[in-house]
A and B are shown apart, each in its own frame.
Chain A
Amino acid sequence: MSEIIAAILIGIGVLFNLFGCIGLVRFPDVYTRLQAATKCVTLGTCLTLGGAAVYGFAGGFGALGMKSLLCIGFLVITAPTAAHALARGAYKYGVKLKEPTVVDLYQQVEPQPTSIEDEETETA
């Protein structure tokens, strides 16, 4: 029974990770990529660790379960902070908001530096 719950949690988590990475590739600019990736990948990883915790507590590996729960706590605190720092760093670095953007009120208080040319590399 515990294996079924763990399998469901891990399956959903892994799929969320995959969708987050598809968003990372498909979205047009840094900020939207950051949104898709941070949200989906954080929740996906938390669910995977939750599956590990269920498996650990039910299967007699107390240490595995407890460490998974602690790791969830660390992730929920650190992931949004890192995303926040990256968004501000990207804005001050000079990355423009791309085409479908409708409004930018942050421009009033923090004028962006001159545009940085896209350093498009043709290696893949």
Chain B
Amino acid sequence: MRRIAIFIVAYLLWCGLAWPYDQNHIAADGTGTAWDTGSLLLGLGVALLVAILFGGALTNKPKNLFNPLHIFWVIVYLPVFFYYCIKANLQVVYLVLHPDMPIKPGIVKVKTKLTSESGVTALANSITLTPGTLTVDVINDNELYVHWLVVESAEEDKATEIIVNRFEYFLEKIFD
């Protein structure tokens, strides 16, 4: 099961990178096909090799990859993430261009309820790309130390409420 999932993902990635579809391969009199069959077959071989060699090491929950509910929550999560990303960038641009640079940096501690490793990783990456925050370290799998550009509260609970809660709801649905 795990190897089949890796095989499908690797083959899709190959198809994206090699892009075997090209209108120019059709000859002027209509003969020939737009699909590059050699590339497609080579991709099958390479994906099979990757699945056999590395399939055991790459994912813990292969069923989640193709579960429609998980895919739905990923699609819901992307616009939310994009909104906060744009907001973060406008804030940073404002701070960069302001003559006095009104920054108040510091490292605060937040907690998360997520349990799976990939969930915590996704949360840390999301925090890094969003308003004024940068994950420095993860300890005991649920305590994140976050560098904050404009510290609003040094207390653990309030910081958790501000930084973590806006992503946790979606990531819980996706990864657990």
Contact = CB atoms under 8 A, between A and B. Distances in A.
A and B touch in the complex (CB under 8 A): yes
B45 interface: no
A6 B61 CA distance: 38
Nearest to B96: A23
A6 to B, nearest CB: 19
A67 B17 CA distance: 6
Contacts, number: 128
Given A39-B129, A103-B154, A66 B109 contact: no
A104 to B, nearest CB: 5
Given A43-B85, A43-B86, A67 B125 contact: no
Contacts of A38: 128-129, 134
A1 interface: no
Interface string B23-52: 100000000000000000000000000000
A23 to B, nearest CB: 4
Given A16-B89, A40-B92, A35 B136 contact: no
A77 B118 CA distance: 12
A77 B124 CA distance: 11
B16 interface: yes
B89 A40 contact: yes
Contacts of A81: 125
Contacts of A23: 92, 95-96
Given A80-B125, A83-B128, A104 B106 contact: yes
Sorting the interface of chain B by its residue count into under 10, 10 to 19, 20 to 34 or 35 or more gives 35 or more
A27 B130 CA distance: 18
A84 B128 CA distance: 8
Interface in B91-115: 92-93, 95-97, 101, 103-109
Contacts of A106: 107, 109, 136-137, 145
Contact of B19 (A66, A80, A102): A66
A107 B147 CA distance: 12
Interface string A1-39: 000000000000000100110110011010110111011
A104 B136 CA distance: 12
